[in-house]
Amino acid sequence: MAAKEDIYSKISPRRLRQSGCVSGKHDVMLSMGFPLQRALKALASTGGRSVPLACDWLFSHLDDPFLDDPLPREYVLYLRPSGPLQNQLSHFWQQSRLTCGKNKAHNIFPHITLCQFFMCPDNKLVALCEALQSSVAQWRGRFPRPLPLELYTSSTFIGLFVEDQAAELLKQFAADFALEASAKADVYVEAHKKQLHVTLAYQFPTHHYFSLEKLARGIEVKLGCDWLAVLFSRDIRFANHETLRVMYPYTPQNNDELELVQGDFIFYSTLEQTGTSDGWVYGTSLGSGISGLLPENYVNPSDESDTWVFHGLGESAIMSMICQPMQMFRSNIQSRSSKRRLFVCRHGERMDVVFGKHWLSHCSDSKGRYVRRNLNMPAALPGWTGAHSDYQSDSPITVVGSTQAKIVGEALLESNTSIDFVYCSPSLRCVQTAHEIIRGMQQDDRVSIRVEPGLFEWTKWVSGKSLPAWIPPSDLAAAKLNIDTTYRPRIPISKLTMSEAYETYISRSHQVTKDILAYCKNKGKNILFVGHASSLEACSRQILGLSPHNSTDFVQVVRKARGIHTSTLHL
């Protein structure tokens, strides 16, 4: 059966990688017209993952009364496990919750606390991430393998404690980070001084002790594990609030009520409930920053860490590689790389999302010619024989989108990954993304793009009464895009229909994926699809042997894909 892994392509190539946080992205946002303080706050509040995500955050917080408040976020440094041990800990989390209900440990994922919560201004976040990166680089490889853990149980607490000698090394690492953070970011960080441990359960009913203890003893603490030093942050205003998840949408009926969006989180405090009517609570939306009354039966309790923001450093955060002997590890990599892979990629940032649906009229002069109005806009649009107005329904990508795509290509190049075939949706944003990925891989002269209408998104989501007027492959090639003009599509444009049923779209995506994989089976090893957010699921789920989602779950999954994003299927 195929296996799947996700690659978040916002990770910079190694030679460009600095802090993994917001470095450089705020310059892009400034060029787009956002004030510096707002740009920094948006990037800090979204983990610096991408400019589009930060822009979305700003647009949704325009009515947030604290949008321009300089109050810093709170940060915490954890060691977080990955690999086989993490799988066992996740299993314990699920089974303990299912068997005994939620206890306080479930509020936060498995971790070892290295530093207490501390505050850092938004304009110091890059320096803070650099301090962590510097500390990790100095300490990597200096920890015992595996990290020695010992199970401790009592009637009120169950956890895995780090053996004393190893714990002292971890505390020294935390102390070094505190010094680096003070020197680079001018923030005060207090290293954790108590016994280091992974909390498994606490504040649970006494009668659940034996069930929890039995589950805990099933954890194999000597399993291989990579420990990652990770920064998380939270909004300091809601540090002592409870967290609720919105289960159903709600439209306000009165001015003091809060609009609810399914999947959003609400911060709730018992101190703010004075005067509320039965069945109603007062809270603040994570998604908009707005406060108001909401129906109590529209929300459910959630975990505290669900609203935390991860500030990732990628591979550079790995403290130690606790796994197989290196010789065996390398042989496994070689055997795995010999298999075929399918990369499914979502297109880069698009013009109409950043500059609005009327971007084209804003960028046209009195004679209807394209004029660049912003540095994030392309210098020119691909010329073709169609109408200038057709760009309105077939938007190109921005300069940021082009850069995102090229970085994906550079990341593949650095990992020694070659691509033998490239297929993409006929949407201009997908063609341009594929073109920039190939450029980033430096394979312009070896691989050309096959435009496949069968990879277009679910047509039910197309606005208007007809499909977009896509640029023909011959015109794309004339515009210097690397197009295979001899390719005959598996599913021609004439076979696509407006407002197709969900089942039709899923069947179409699965069929075209199967047909392409069968065609390429003996002709090449790695294949790249460039499509839409929906392609990440529709082109991969059934290939993995899984049943399709129902349409409601499918929409929820697709909405989580923001910015350029790549999934890898090992076939």
pLDDT tens digits, 344-362: 999 999 998 888 888 988 8
**Pairwise CA distance, residues 2 & 21, whole Å:** 33
pLDDT band at 2 (very low <50, low <70, confident <90, very high): low
The span from the CA of 183 to the CA of 125, in Å, is: 13
Chain centroid to CA 558: how far?
Answer: 12
d(CA 359, CA 324): 54
Judge if 404 and 534 occupy the same domain: yes
What Cα–Cα distance (Å) separates residue 90 from each residue in 8, 97, 200, 228, 378? 22, 11, 10, 16, 45
Of 50-54, 335-339, 433-437, 463-467, the poorest mean pLDDT is in: 335-339
Q: Which of 26, 347, 429, 490 is catalytic?
A: 347
* 128 exposure class (CB count in 10 Å sphere: 0-12, 13-18, 19+): buried
Please give the pLDDT value at position 12: 36
534 in a structural domain? yes
CATH number at residue 253: 2.30.30.40
Please report the pLDDT score of residue 337 as a whole number: 42
Residue 96 has a pLDDT of: 94
Among 197, 221, 237, the domain-final residue is 237
Shared-domain flag, residues 261 and 391: no
User: Which pLDDT belongs to residue 32?
Assistant: 80
* Domain CATH code at residue 358: 3.40.50.1240
- Burial-class residue 158 by CB neighbours within 10 Å (0-12, 13-18, 19+): buried
User: Are residues 152 and 46 located together in one domain of the fold?
Assistant: no
Residue 289 φ/ψ region, left for φ over 0, alpha for ψ in the -120 to 50 degree band, beta for the rest: left
C-alpha distances out from residue 361 to 401, 402, 412, 431, 488, Å: 21, 22, 37, 23, 35
- What CATH number should be reported for the domain holding residue 190? 3.90.1140.10
On whether residue 66 sits in a domain, the answer given is no
Does residue 347 carry a catalytic annotation? yes
Q: Mean pLDDT: which of 35-49, 221-235, 421-435 is highest?
A: 421-435
Number of folded domains in the chain? 4
- Cβ atoms of residues 570 and 336 within 8 Å: yes
Residue 547 CA, chain-centre distance (Å), reads 24
Amino acid identity of residue 230, one-letter, is V
Are 541 and 4 in contact, with CB atoms under 8 Å apart?
A: no
Give 516-561 pLDDT, tens digit per residue. 999 998 887 899 999 999 999 899 988 888 888 888 888 887 877 7
Percent of the chain at pLDDT > 70 equals 90
Q: Are residues 155 and 272 in the same domain?
A: no
Last residue of a domain, one of 195, 210, 237: 237
Burial (CB count within 10 angstroms: exposed 0-12, middle 13-18, buried 19+), residue 555:
middle
CA separation for the pair 19, 10 (Å, rounded): 12
Which of 174, 198, 229, 44 has the alpha carbon at shortest distance from 108?
A: 198
Does the pLDDT at position 248 exceed 90? yes
Decide if 312 is inside a domain. Answer: no
Q: Cite the DSSP H helix spans in 421-501.
A: 428-440, 473-478
Q: State the pLDDT at residue 22.
A: 54
How much of the chain, in percent, has pLDDT values that exceed 90?
A: 61
| Catalytic residue of the set 80, 532, 541, 565 | 532
Task: Reply yes or no on whether 532 is catalytic.
Answer: yes
CB 112 within 8 A of CB 162: yes
Question: Could you report the per-residue pLDDT of 146-176, keeping only the tens digit for each?
Answer: 889 999 999 999 999 999 999 999 999 999 9
Q: What pTM was computed for the model? A: 0.57
What is the residue range of 40's domain? 25-61
In a domain, residue 4? The reply is no
Same domain, yes or no: 505 and 489:
yes
Reading the block at residue 535, the tokens are 């392609």
The mean pLDDT value for 296-301 works out to 95
Q: Which of 111, 346, 350, 508 is catalytic?
A: 346
Q: Looking at residue 185, what is its pLDDT?
A: 95
Chain mean pLDDT for the chain: 86
Question: 233 and 244 share a domain?
Answer: no
Contact 68, 74 (CB under 8 A): no
Shared domain check, 282 and 166: no
Please indicate, yes or no, whether residues 230 and 248 belong to a single structural domain of this protein: no
Same domain, 149 and 253: no
Residue 268: helix, strand or coil by DSSP? Answer: strand
Structural tokens at position 400: 């940021």
